[in-house]
Amino acid sequence: VQLQASGGGLVQPGGSLRLSCTASGEIYTAIGWLRQAPGKEREGVSCINSRDGRAYYGDSVKGRFTISRDNAKNTVYLQMHSLKPEDTAVYYCAAAWDQGPYVVLTTGVVDYWGQGTLVTVSS
C-alpha cells in the first residue's frame, strides 16, 4: 500500500484544517492518522475501519476531529476543528493490513506509512 498525505499547514488557534490520505495498492483493514510533536512520543490521533467505517479517536482530539473515508476514491480524511497549539505536530497517515483501527490507534503498530504532513497551530 502506498499512502499519499496532504493538507497540512499553518493555522491559528481555533481554526480548522482537513488532511487527506489517498491509498493505492493492497487492501488494508485500518487506516488513520498518528502524529508526533517535537520532543514527544508518537500519538494515535484517529483510525477507521475501511470496511465498516467504525472510527476511534485519541482522547486529546475527541469532539474536535472527525475521520471519514471515501472508498471510491481510496481516500481518508481528517477534519480538524478547534485546533490548539498542542495539536502542532507532523501527522502521518498509516494503514494496517489485518489489524483493527483500535489496535492501530493505541499501539501505533502499522504495516504501511505515508509521508508526514506538518500541522502548525500558532498565532
Can you tell me whether residue 49 is helix, strand or coil?
strand
The residues facing 82 across adjacent strands are: none
- Whole-angstrom CA distances from 114 to 14, 41, 64, 73, 123 are 27, 18, 23, 17, 28
Q: Give the model's pLDDT for residue 16.
A: 98
Q: Give the model's pLDDT for residue 25.
A: 76
pLDDT for 26 beyond 80:
no
pLDDT in tens, 31-67: 999 999 999 999 999 999 988 999 999 999 999 999 9
- DSSP summary character for residue 59: T
Lowest mean pLDDT of 39-43, 83-87, 99-103, name the range: 99-103
- Which whole number is the average pLDDT over 19-38? 91
Strands 55-57 and 30-36: unpaired
Whole-number average pLDDT of the chain: 94
Q: Which of 14, 34, 19 is nearest to 81 (CA)?
A: 14
